[in-house]
Amino acid sequence: MFEHWIKKALLEMQEYVRLVLEAIRDTFTKPFYFHDVVEQFDSIGVGSLTVVLLTGFFTGAVLALQTGMSLDQFGARPYVGRLVSASMVRELGPVLTALMITGRVGSGIAAELGSMGVTEQINALRALGTDPIRKLVVPRMLAGVFMVPALTVIADFMGVFGGWLIARYQLGVATSLYWTSVIDGLFLQDAWMGLFKPFFLGFVIVTIGCHVGLRVTGGTQGVGRATTQAVVAGSVSVIAVDLFVTKLLFYLIY
């Protein structure tokens, strides 16, 4: 039983790596489906804007509330802005944005491609001479790689703004003091880390969703299972990749 599970896991990893390599190769060769890329940028980026705005705002607000109460014990309430900005930019912004996009985009990609597979639409593309990876995977991969960092920046700003509302009207911290603390708490290395990680996280989210969706079997029940697998695998991968990329960045930057 255990050997069967190991073989299945290795097969999935092999197929995933093959898909990724083929998608990267197709990105730099013709034909290039520009219209599909723009469509996916809109679907993944603009379509995820609302959930990212709300996630960033409430995360920053609750972070300011929790840390503000804790800092009171040391008489350091004015430093709440420093904690909110550093936490959002370095870690919470990229990871929570990626997790929200995994739930919305990763599951949607798996369900869409899985449905196309069970209804023979992917085979129809092959019959018409169209490469499914070039047509379906590459536009989604590019959208994930470039839109997740943009959404992360928006989430960071909303988190800092939400923290300001709590700090100003709940904790009684002056606006000028809060924003000065925000600026003092950010360093160039933090900004690089916060901007660099989302490229990897977006790549992992989308490619896992595509991989799971393209390997759907078992009709509509298989589509449902694939959706769940994409969210679970994508969420775990986001956290794991975040750890390894953070360790790499600490080694290169600090």
- In this predicted structure, the answer to whether residue 152 has a pLDDT above a threshold of 90 is yes
pLDDT of residue 11: 85
pLDDT of residue 41: 93
Mean pLDDT of the chain: 89
- In this predicted structure, the answer to whether residue 131 has a pLDDT above a threshold of 70 is yes
Average pLDDT over residues 216-228: 83
Average pLDDT over residues 234-248: 93
> What is the band of 150 on the pLDDT scale with cuts at 50, 70, 90?
very high
HEC-encoded secondary structure of the chain: CHHHHHHHHHHHHHHHHHHHHHHHHHHCCCCCCHHHHHHHHHHHHHHHHHHHHHHHHHHHHHHHHHHHHHHHHHCCHHHHHHHHHHHHHHHHHHHHHHHHHHHHHHHHHHHHHHHHHHCCHHHHHHHCCCCHHHHHHHHHHHHHHHHHHHHHHHHHHHHHHHHHHHHHHCCCCCHHHHHHHHHHCCCHHHHHHHHHHHHHHHHHHHHHHHHHHHCCCCHHHHHHHHHHHHHHHHHHHHHHHHHHHHHHHHHHHC
pLDDT of residue 192: 86
Average pLDDT over residues 206-235: 88
Q: Which residue has the higher pLDDT, 236 or 174?
A: 236
